Amino acid sequence: MEKEFVSLLNQHRGIIFKICKVYCQNEEDRQDLFQEIVLQLWKAFPAFKHEANVSTWMYRIGMNTAISNYRKEKTRQPPISFSNLPYPLPDFSETDDFIIETAPLYKAIDQLSPIEKALVLLYLDNNSYDEMAVILGISKSNVGVKLNRIKVKLEKLIKSFQN
């Protein structure tokens, strides 16, 4: 079971990285959120029946974890170490090119509400409106309306950074 979990985690690590990047501004907080998401995924893994796509399952748990952490200030418990696993976990570091290229977009995304951030993340990862609706628990038509409003908002924010 551990080997299957780590394999799925490595195959879909980009999902977790994107969630952490969108919901946390500094590296230390991203690493904490990354660990928390992995922990929540691990706790939920025994109940995962592969009825939904792995990516949908990971997004749902990851975003729920990120939004929960975002909404409430709680005392932090010491992180659980995954260093004893016999399987390698994905490396969390980013390249300088990635940081430079995406900085204006992430700066604009940082100005959005948690649900808007979730929608942008899912949109940028080419999820269908149906998938976004399932992951976020909203209607497909609501996804479309919100995305159109978010696109306009992001465009204005990015333009304001360039002036």
Q: How far apart (Å, rounded) are the C-alpha atoms in residues 69 and 28?
A: 14
**All residues at 6 or more sequence positions from 61 whose CB lies less than 8 Å from its CB, including other chains:** 37, 40, 41, 44
Q: How does the average pLDDT of the chain come out, rounded?
A: 83
Domains assigned to the chain: 1-93 (1.10.1740.10), 95-163 (1.10.10.10)
Mind listing the pLDDT tens digit for each residue in 71-118?
Answer: 754 445 555 666 666 666 666 555 555 556 677 888 888 899 988 999
R_g over Cα of the chain: 16
